[in-house]
Amino acid sequence: DEYVALLPPHFKLQGDRLTWEELVAQPLIMPPVDYVMMQQVYDHARSFGYSLKVAYEVGTDATIVGLVAQGLGATILPRLAAEPIPPVVQIYSLPVPLARVIGVAVLADALLSPAIYAFLELLKRKKL
């Protein structure tokens, strides 16, 4: 699941790809800094010499995406966590791509519901 940068409607990309400079210049709206899935994002940026300065810490992904849509800043979230993404929000890959691994464990002899089978098929089709 790729981490993506979500930018507000008024953002103007300077080149053909988003740069770290453009991203860190935005007020960042992020999940709480101690949120486990975000630690690798902070470490990733730091490994390229950039520090993510958070303007707003918000606990729910949908609220973060809504604030970006309203033009209050940018964020970095896993694509699946950000869905559904409003059409006014601009989506970019990070300057150096980053992804999280999603794993699913199923008991071998467990009786699974049709919803579980549908979910597993979806994951296989999307190659997540």
CATH code of the domain in which 64 resides: 3.40.190.10
Q: Give the pLDDT confidence score for residue 104 in this predicted structure.
A: 83
Question: Is residue 111 domain-resident?
Answer: no
For 74, counting Cβ atoms within 10 Å of its Cβ (0-12 exposed, 13-18 middle, 19+ buried), the class is: buried
The angle formed by the CA atoms of residues 128, 34 and 46, to the nearest 5 degrees, is 75
Q: State the total domains in the chain.
A: 1
pLDDT digits (tens, 9 = 90+) for 97-111: 999 988 888 888 888
What is the per-residue pLDDT across 32-80, written as a single tens digit (0 to 9) for each?
Answer: 988 888 999 999 999 999 999 999 999 999 999 999 999 999 999 999 9
Domain assignment of residue 59, yes or no: yes
Q: Is 120 helix (H, G, I), strand (E, B) or coil?
A: helix
Residue 126 lies in a domain: no
> Is 99 among the domain residues?
no
pLDDT at 91: 98
Residue span of the structural domain in which 28 resides: 3-93
Q: Is residue 110 situated within a structural domain?
A: no
Provide the mean pLDDT of the chain: 93
Q: How far apart are CA 89 and CA 102, in angstroms?
A: 25
pTM of the model: 0.85
Please, which pLDDT band fits residue 128 given cuts at 50, 70 and 90?
Answer: low
Position 128 in a domain: no
Indicate whether 118 belongs to any domain.
Answer: no
3-17, 92-106, 110-124: the lowest-pLDDT one: 110-124
pLDDT of 3 over the 90 cut: yes
Query: In DSSP terms, which residues pair with 78 in a beta bridge?
Result: 3
DSSP string, 3-21: EEEEE-TT---SSSS--HH
Distance of alpha carbon 55 from alpha carbon 118, whole angstroms: 39
End-to-end CA distance of the chain: 6
Residues 19 and 100 sit within 8 Å (Cβ to Cβ): no
- pLDDT cut 70: percent of the chain above it: 98
User: Which position has the higher pLDDT, 55 or 122?
Assistant: 55
